[in-house]
Chain A
Amino acid sequence: MSADQTQRATRCLVAKVGLDGHDRGAHVIARAFRDAGFEVIYSGLHRAPEEIVQAAVQEDVDVLGISILSGAHNTLVPKVIEGLRSYDAFEDTLILVGGIIPEEDTAELKELGVAEVFGPGTAIEDTVEFVREHAGPE
């Protein structure tokens, strides 16, 4: 039997959770990730935390990028993380949050298990670099 070549790709879920309808940022990130050679699954708008969990589990993503501009991150992000834990999918998923997150909340989100929070003004390359460093081929 022959040893096939391994064909790994970094899989990312770019997710919009909750009621805010601003998806330009998510689109820009999705595109940048694609250009970086990642496989990007885009969730579409107005997703409930359970839907994000379902998609992240089924797609077995390496990276979950959550975009929130509504200010509801303190409610939504914990729900997503809790859901991932219940499917035993938290440990091997790199969780990123993007959007408008006040500084005092950032520490709290990181405490919960979010790897990094990217606010307005973050260079796209930094985000891609962060993913390259922390996710993908183990």
Chain B
Amino acid sequence: MRVPSSMGSDTLTDENAELYEGVLAGDHSALARLITTIENRTPGYRHLLSALHDHTGDAAVVGVTGSPGAGKSTLVDKLTRQYRNNDETVGIIAVDPSSPYSGGSVLGDRIRMGSTAGDMEVFVRSMSARGRLGGLSMATADAVKALDAFGKDRIIVETVGAGQNEVDIVETAETVVVVVQPGSGDDVQLLKAGILEIGDIFVVNKADMDEAAGTVAELEAMVHMDETSGAGVLGGHHAPDNTEMDASSGVDDDAGDTEDGWTPPVIQTVATTGVGVDELRGALDAHRTHLADSAEGARRRQRRAETEIRRLLRSDLGELAEDVLECRGGVEALAESVAQRETDPYAVVDELVDPLETAVLDAVDAEE
């Protein structure tokens, strides 16, 4: 098939071109404004992203998820501190839910990110759902791109893990950390939460609490249950049909390997004091190395690209559908004819979609 070329930076409006140059030059104000442009879906933002795309792909992108109050922000703060000590630059996107009633939101993750406050090399951006259905994951992925193009070494996406939206968001990351707090229920609760499937690394935070040992044991059991059954509860990120153990052990984990050679480690931390953060950083690096060395990294990149294409396509087709309705006299008139039983909804939609389908097929024919 024909591969469309990038829209390039010369298609940008003057204003966007300025932002684009600014971001590549390392201007933090430009980065902030560019993210706003993307988030607001300001006309022309697609060209901006298309131009930026060329400059992405170098950053290590980590998703951190877990229930509210598990200690995600504090953990991210401590991790960031360590990266900064190592002279690495960090970009953080903190996602909070928005009020379903007013659409407004209070984004408080910045409060916990105090240990790097005042350091501009740590770029923290808070985002809310803004009532967009499924659109949040797109906005998050786009913001990750902006930080990546800017040249941040490490990018962390932090989000409350409670639903599909959040799962989508962390899937824009190459490594997913699931933070659990002690006493968050038995293994069935963990199963129900559904976030276990997406974890590459599990963290039991507040490990100085009494119930910590039990939670660790339960998580360990679930991780290893997955290993022995080959297609257990943790199959989400791995090839589900491959029940054979991979012989090439790429990881320094003596517990045995899952299909792709990675066993999610369970790490205990006390984020407030920084205990276990070293270990978490080590595990993150180990996973990154693992992805680079195994076929899994390429597989994930491929899948992310697929997801992104599908999402964009759906969103654009959705809007195209509105235009089509508008051209045919609006949905009210059509609905009326159905309500009066003059026609049926299936025939209506068939007639609306048919010309589109023909046009697409003709276009493909013309190319060949």
Residues of A in contact with B (beta carbons under 8 Å apart): 1-9, 11, 30-31, 33-44, 47-48, 50-51, 54-55, 57-60, 87-89
Contact = CB atoms under 8 A, between A and B. Distances in A.
B125 interface: yes
Contacts of B303: none
Nearest to A40: B106
A38 B43 CA distance: 22
B106 A42 contact: yes
Given A5-B41, A39-B98, A87-B28, 16 more contacts: A2-B320, A2-B323, A3-B43, A4-B45, A11-B36, A34-B99, A35-B104, A37-B103, A39-B107, A43-B111, A44-B108, A54-B119, A55-B124, A59-B125, A60-B35, A88-B29
Contacts of B53: none
A57 B106 contact: no
Contact of B43 (A6, A34, A40, A57): A6
Interface stretch (B126-134, B166-174, B184-192, B214-222): B126-134
A58 B40 contact: no
Given A37-B103, A42-B111, A54-B117, A7 B126 contact: no
B111 A6 contact: no
Given A31-B106, A40-B106, A41-B107, A59 B126 contact: yes
Between A36, A40, A88, A89, the greatest number of chain B beta carbons within 10 A of the residue's beta carbon is seen for A40
A29 to B, nearest CB: 11
Contact of B40 (A7, A30, A44): A7
- The 5 A-B pairs with the shortest beta carbon distances in the complex, nearest first, are A44-B111, A34-B104, A60-B32, A51-B117, A37-B104
B102 A35 contact: yes
Interface residues of B, number: 45
B316 interface: yes
Contacts of B124: 55, 58-59
Given A4-B41, A6-B42, A41-B110, A57 B29 contact: yes
Contacts of B104: 33-40
B289 interface: no
19 contacts: A2-B316, A2-B320, A4-B41, A6-B43, A7-B130, A8-B40, A31-B106, A34-B104, A35-B101, A39-B107, A40-B106, A40-B107, A41-B107, A42-B107, A44-B114, A58-B123, A60-B35, A60-B36, A89-B32
Nearest to B139: A7
Interface of B: 28-29, 31-33, 35-36, 39-43, 45-46, 98-99, 101-108, 110-112, 114, 117-120, 123-126, 128, 130, 132, 135, 315-316, 319-320, 323
Contacts of A7: 39-41, 130, 132, 135
Nearest to A1: B46
Contacts of B107: 39-42
Interface of B is mostly: mixed
Contacts of B120: 54
Nearest to B50: A1
A9 B36 CA distance: 10
A42 B28 CA distance: 20
A39 B108 CA distance: 11
A128 to B, nearest CB: 11
Contacts of B102: 34-37
Contacts of A43: 110-111
Nearest to A92: B33
Contacts of B111: 42-44
Nearest to B119: A54
A114 B84 CA distance: 34
Contacts of A55: 110, 117, 124
A124 B29 CA distance: 31
A11 B128 CA distance: 10
Nearest to A84: B29
Given A34-B99, A37-B104, A57 B41 contact: no
A21 to B, nearest CB: 14
A39 B105 contact: yes
